Structure 1
Amino acid sequence: MEKNNIKLTTAEIAILWRTYIHNTAVRCFYKHFLQHLQDVEIKSIIEEVVVLIETVIGKIEAIFEKEYFPIPKGFSDKDIDLSAPALYTDLFALSFVYRGGQIIIPHYANTLTKVTRIDIYTFFAECLYSEAELHKKSLNLMLSKGVNDRPPNIEYPKSVEFIQHQPSLINTWLGEKRPLNTLEITELFVGIERNAIGLILLMGLIQVTKDKEIKDHLLKGKKLAEKKIDIFDKLLRENDHLIGFPVTMEVTNSTISPFSERLILFIISATSQVSVSALGDALSIFLRKDLVAHFSLLLADVMKYGGEGLKLMIERGWVEQPPQPIDRNEFYKS
């Protein structure tokens, strides 16, 4: 079979489709940011982000057109009001790029392990490189502006050690009294950082959402983000690794929504999906029983919350159906 005749696999279809939907969604946020940015350095990065997003969207459209595959609807200028006042400050726009990189880079890296057609592999490899470069720029700029906290430092160990196989030591290692190790400290710190950015996002969206049912859902998400920050912060404080995490007010006083309610629900639903993955990853490396208990309960909370958001979207007819294979059971009906 010639290379040009190789059809897209289900994995490639799913990844291209999902990447397209998510890029059209975040494009709306970046377009809103660009309308109001004052900081020249931040504006330059946001402009680069928009160019990359437009490039990714355009290339996926070209792939689908070549395959005679229907292009998803996604989100468009109909989901954004460019005349609306600024909802977030310049610094939040910068942190949005930084947080986006934390989500998108693992997505592209994971994608490379699932695709097999070389042109699709090359496309996502290029996406990964470009996103990593932008993330590095946003990180450097955040550090230069003093709006990014580094994870805690520790004294370097003097030698390599192994856990001894003794019941008393195993109980200490798996119990709640053992000091946090570097793997656990990292997950707790990143969890605080991730939820702090999400909390600011929610604060702005709550402020402009008119639909009571959607606003109640966002308020519930805000409480859940605050709960996670409190738990992670307490665990770090108990081990003298971090004292608080300042969540600065990066939301303006505007009450005019720049975004459609469909877009708002989608973005929050997407962040819930990311949170499920992050909590699961953390659980896979924890050994302290109290950490496992905390994260297991939070995982259940986030999954429930995500399900409630999806239900709201389905009830309003706002969920675009992912590509489906033929239901052959229909052929068997008499």
Structure 2
Amino acid sequence: MTASGSAQLLFVHGIGGLRDADRERRAWLDSLADGARRAGHSDAVSRLTQGWPADVRFADYSDLFLDRGAQGDTFGPSQNDEAFLSRLVAELTEELAHQALERQAPDLLRMVENARQQLSDEQTQGIGEPLRILAGVLTTLLQIPGLRRAAQWASGRSLLGQLSQVGRYLGRGEPDGGGRCLDTRVRDRVLRGLDPGRPLVVVAHSLGTVVAFEALQHYSGPVRLLITLGSPLATATAVLHRIHPRPPRTPEPVERWLNFWDRDDIVVCRPRIQDWMLPNRAGVLPDSHRVDSDGIWVHTATKYLRQTAVAGPVVEALKR
């Protein structure tokens, strides 16, 4: 496939509240510029902050999660989300148990066992009660030292509400007046305005990695690089078995796929996505790398973008 013109850069956000697309586009670019500078691409910093932005889109679909009509916290979970959230929280807990054994960390294992016990209690509760218990499980997990330092959520309930967005997207429901379901509207929002005649670089975060993965299955232009950050794609029963296509396969337009995960990012399970993905016809599989972010709020795109391992390949792909 032949493409001409400068590369496009597409940012795809993840879970969270309403976004200010212009402000976040700038924040993501500034973080990318910081990572590029430390990666030895100082020549690209001014282009990132002044030149390339004309070719940069921040795909904002956050408002589409406001239309449930729920009372109170419009981003909060409902009873319709219980089954998905129960599976997801259980998988998050088991991943942390695996890490506790791998690290030989008895204190961590005790906290995970506490969460496991709460999950077993959740199976015996009445309607509506599981959400309270699941929020308690997440509150327990967020007390784990690495996660406590890294988490940007005030409580397990706030995290639970944002995780429910993943289930809503994968639920393939909530049609609008024209019969277009939520997941279709989200993907359309992401692909809107792209030029298939020019190469594309995609940086997707969290839920955005699921959205980008599915959206690019229907994209006709060349994708020079796909970067996924803090992805839940390989979370087996909760996410992996529900994404399209089945079995999951690298989107055909993708020429290179780099996946990055942080051990203290609670949203990430089974970080080595390549173990659960088929290659596209060009043989492309995701190449997973662990990064370590010091400080707080690990599960943010800006934390990942400041990593030299992330910023370097993005800048190089844009320069080609």
TM-score (normalised: structure 2): 0.27
Structure (1 or 2) with the greater helix fraction: 1
Structure with greater Cα Rg: 1
TM-score (normalised: structure 1): 0.26
